[in-house]
Amino acid sequence: MRREELTRLTGKVGGPNCDDDDCPNVYRSESGSFVVQGSVSDVFTPPAGEGLVEIPERVLREAFRALGW
């Protein structure tokens, strides 16, 4: 899957909390799954093939609003 195939739900580029693409974001794929961008977390070691990221609550709230939830 390529970034261009995702719908960006949060963090408008140039917005008050985001410069370029260097901030936490939530994206939705065509299949309805979510891709989350955030700071890498090492709170525990996930299973092989998985990763952990940490994002602020405000980013999830923004994603929920974008989805009408």
Whole domain around residue 10: which residue ranges? Answer: 3-14+23-67
**Domains contained in the chain, number:** 1
Distances (CA, A) of 53 to 3, 24, 46, 62: 17, 9, 11, 17
Q: What would the mean pLDDT of 32-44 be, rounded to a whole number?
A: 95
Q: What's the Rg (C-alpha) of the chain?
A: 13
pLDDT in tens, 7-32: 999 887 555 566 666 788 999 999 99
pLDDT at residue 13 in the model: 57
Euclidean distance between CA atoms 51 and 36, whole angstroms:
10
Q: Which two tokens stand for residue 29?
A: 């794929």
